[in-house]
Structure formats: C-alpha cells, structure tokens
Amino acid sequence: MAERVTDERTLAVYLASEGFFPYWLRAGNRAATSEERAQADASAKRALGIARRLDDPNLQSTALDALAGTGQTADDWRRALGYSEQRLTFHSRLSMVEKVDAYGMVAWGKALLGELASADRVTAEGLAQIQPGQVPAATLHVVAWRTYVLTLRGRWDEALVMAERQYQGCRELGSTSTAYVLHGFMAALDIARARQDQQLFDTYARIHDEITAAQPKGTDNRHWEGYAGRDPRPVAEAVAGFKLGLLSRLDRLERAVSRLLDQDVRLPFSTMSAIRDYARDHEFAMLEAQAERALGALDRDAAPLQRAIELFDRIGAVPYGARVRCERALLIGDDAEMTAGLKVLEQLDDVEQLGRFERLRVG
C-alpha cells in the first residue's frame, strides 16, 4: 500500500513507524538482524528527508527517534545519542509529548555513557519547560533519569525531591504502567538504605514491588523484583543471569552491582570481567567503573580499584569514588585516602557505608 500512496506526509509517517521495527522486536526478546536494522534505517532516513522538505518538526523528531532506536538495538549508544540530540536542536517547535520524549532519550544516552553533568543539565532544562499536569507519562521518564543522575552525582537531597515527584506521578498514572521508571526508584532505595531511613525505604520498596509484580515473568521489568528486599542473594542471581545486549537496561544492572558491592557480596569473576569488557567496548563508563570495583574486591587488587576511582572521578560519581577510595585505602593501608573517602560519606550522611568501613577497619 505504501508504494501506491501519493500523499507525502502519510507516506513519511508510515516510513518513520517502520523505522521502529528493530526497537519493538526487542519487546519480543529478539534481536533484529543487521539487514532488518539497515532496512529500518533506510525507511527512517527516507521519512526524515520528506519531513524536512515539508518542514514538519514533529515528523522529523519521530524519524530521528527511530534512527536512535536502531542505534540502541545495535549497542551503538553514541550514535543513538547523536540522533536524540538533533531532536533538541529544534525543541521549541515540537509538541510537548515529542519535546519531553526527546529530553528523556538524551538523558538516557548521556547517563549510560557517563556524561552525568550534561545529563543533569538536560533533565533540569527539560523539566523546566513542563507545566503542572502536562504530558505526565513523558514527564515521568525525565524525572526518573534525573533521580538516577542526581543519585550518582551525590546530590542526594535533590534526588529525593525528584523521587517524591516520581512517586506521586506513578500513583496518578497507575503503577502497572510505569515500569520504565524503575531505575529511579532503585536509586531512591539506595539513598534510603544508605541513610538508614526506614520509612522512606518502605515507601519506595512498596511501589517498586507493585510495579515489578505487575510485569510479565521473564521480562526486563520483572528481572529486578528482589531489589527492594533485604536479602541480597536474589539480586546477585539477577546479576549473574543478566543478558548483555538486546537493549538491556544497563542502568538497573549498574545499580544492582553497586548495591551488592556496598554489602560486600562477591560476584563471580567471569561475570564481572564479561561486564567490564562489554562496558568498556561500548563506552558505558559508570558500569565499567562498578565492574572494575568488583574485580578489585574479588582479587584484593589495588590496580582495578584505582581504575575505578579514575573513572568515577571523570564521570563525577562522587559517592562511588568515595567508596572505592575507602576500599583501596583498606587494602594498601593509606590513612589519608581513607580519611578523604570517609569525609565525603559523612557529607552525604551515608550511615550504612560509614558503619561498614568502621567494621572493616576494626576487623
């Protein structure tokens, strides 16, 4: 039918939609072939050309989003981010749904690639343009990424403000439809656990469990159902069974590895070296740093711990650089490095880790 369509806008909408085919194959846990991705790219690029000729900004944005999705399914997040950033160059001409979605996609790419300062700016800019009640589902996507990014940066009080906004948004939309924000609640749970705030922890644990329990078994959104529990063993099993690639949710994997390391749970060397190599090959800096931290703990080796510190410092992941400084200081007997790490943890009110290092020093 598309071959017989004479209206260019109608044809472009169809072609842009066809460009999403590899992305939605992922919902069925199947990776697109290279031929399918190439065909989807060709359709989306053809749609983009028509949309530009028609000067239709929303259609341009849709086509660029399809091209970004193909990049994601190919594990080329640098390419995906480039297409998503193009959408923001004309954001003032976009509908609110299209505009806010573009901000969310840029934030996602930047967070995975370790560009936390930029992700911070993008999420703040995006949320500043949204009036109360506007596009709530799309807004939640940006709010969740801001919660995650602020947690990694060590701006925990601000992260908890975002987590509360996320919580209220999920309540209004219905928890079962908001699985795409789970990483935000995982980050909020991490802060509540670190500060030993039981009331806050219970609040976010309940909604995390509500969302995950409503998802089909065997899906990504169900994979981390044990994250809000006290027992770390289900989380360790989830990490060991995590499948890299296929547009896997690496932000959730990063949170799980971080939590296990915070609780001195050792992960298999083969698992962590595979994650480290994959993250390094694809520029997933935050995940790479956590994997180096895990390998250093496993081998009691200061070298990977130092690499983790360097990565965390470059990214600006303040709480995690502080943790690894303390872990490395214990290993090599560096009192100055231990003092520096503990100072940061004190400023964060990270009661859990302060207690952990006190026990490790005495032991």
Residue with tokens 């644990």: 205
The ranges of the chain annotated as CATH 1.25.40 are 92-224, 235-363
The amino acid at residue 129 is Q
Q: How far apart are CA 89 and CA 101, in angstroms?
A: 14
Q: What is the pTM of this model?
A: 0.96
- C-alpha angle 41/43/47, rounded to 5°? 115
Q: How far apart are CA 209 and CA 187, in angstroms?
A: 14
Q: How far apart are CA 248 and CA 271, in angstroms?
A: 16
C-alpha atoms less than 13 angstroms from C-alpha of 276 in its C-beta half-sphere: 20
For 281, other C-beta atoms within 10 Å of its C-beta total: 10
Residue with tokens 């500060």: 195
Give the tokens for residue 161: 């403000």
Which residues of the chain carry a pLDDT beneath 70? Answer: 27, 175
Q: How far apart are CA 188 and CA 210, in angstroms?
A: 15
Helix axes 77-88, 96-112, angle to 10 degrees: 150
Dihedral Cα 58, 63, 68, 70, nearest 10 deg? 150
The pLDDT value recorded for residue 175 is 67
Residues 6 or more apart in contact with residue 61 via CB below 8 angstroms? 87, 90, 94, 98, 102
The pLDDT value recorded for residue 226 is 94
C-alpha atoms less than 13 angstroms from C-alpha of 278 in its C-beta half-sphere: 20
Instruction: Convert the pLDDT of each residue in 158-185 to its tens digit.
Output: 999 999 999 999 999 986 789 999 999 9
Q: Are 260 and 293 in contact (CB under 8 A)?
A: no
Q: How far apart are CA 200 and CA 269, in angstroms?
A: 34
The amino acid at residue 73 is T
Local structure of 241: helix, strand or coil: coil
For 349, other C-beta atoms within 10 Å of its C-beta total: 14
Q: Which CATH fold topology does 92-224 show?
A: 1.25.40
The pLDDT value recorded for residue 174 is 82
Q: Are 189 and 203 in contact (CB under 8 A)?
A: no
What architecture (CATH level 2) is domain 235-363? Answer: Alpha Horseshoe (1.25)
Give the tokens for residue 256: 């799980």
